[in-house]
C-alpha cells in the first residue's frame, strides 16, 4: 500500500457538519478565509506524495471509499492550502475543480482526531 496523502483533523468549524446534507465535507488549512472557516474541518498543510487519481482509495479512520473522479485544482489547493472538498456521490464527471469524488456510500463520522489517507493499493 502506497500512502499518497495523509492528514488528521485538528479542529472543526461549528457549521462543518452542515455539508453532510450534500454528502460532502470540506478541509482547509490555517489560511481559511474567515467567511468559510466555520464550514470547514481544519488540517495542517501536508504534502501529496504522487498523483491523486480515480481508482485510489480514501480512508477515513480506516473506512474505505474508492475515488471516482478528481478535480484539476485538487493538487494545488490541497498541497498549498490544505483545502479540498470530498463528495460522496460516485460521480465520474468533475463539477467542482477542488473536489475529490468518492463512491456513493454513507459518509463517515468526522471528528477532531479523524485520520484521512489517500492510498494506492
Range of the domain at 28: 2-120
> Do residues 98 and 24 touch, judged by C-beta distance below 8 A?
no
pLDDT beyond 90 at 52: yes
Query: What pLDDT, on the 0 to 100 scale, is given for residue 1?
Result: 84
Give the pairing of strands 24-28 and 84-88: antiparallel
For the domain that residue 74 is a member of, what is the CATH number?
A: 2.40.33.40
Q: Model confidence at 15, in pLDDT bands (50, 70, 90)?
A: very high
End-to-end CA, the chain? 5
Q: How many domains does the chain have?
A: 1
- pTM (predicted TM-score): 0.95
At 18, give phi and psi (nearest 5°). -65, -25
Amino acid at each position: 500500500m502506497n500512502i499518497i496523502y495523509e492528514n488528521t483533523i485538528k479542529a472543526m468549524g461549528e457549521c462543518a457538519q452542515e455539508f453532510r446534507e450534500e454528502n460532502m465535507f470540506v478541509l482547509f488549512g490555517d489560511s481559511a478565509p474567515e467567511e468559510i472557516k466555520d464550514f470547514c474541518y481544519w488540517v495542517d498543510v501536508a504534502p501529496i506524495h504522487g498523483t491523486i487519481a480515480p481508482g485510489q482509495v480514501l480512508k477515513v479512520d480506516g473506512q474505505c471509499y474508492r475515488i471516482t473522479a478528481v478535480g484539476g485544482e485538487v493538487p494545488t489547493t490541497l498541497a498549498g492550502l490544505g483545502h479540498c472538498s470530498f463528495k460522496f456521490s460516485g460521480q465520474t464527471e468533475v463539477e467542482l475543480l477542488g473536489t475529490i469524488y468518492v463512491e456513493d456510500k454513507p459518509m463517515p463520522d468526522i471528528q477532531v482526531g479523524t485520520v484521512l489517507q489517500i492510498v494506492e493499493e
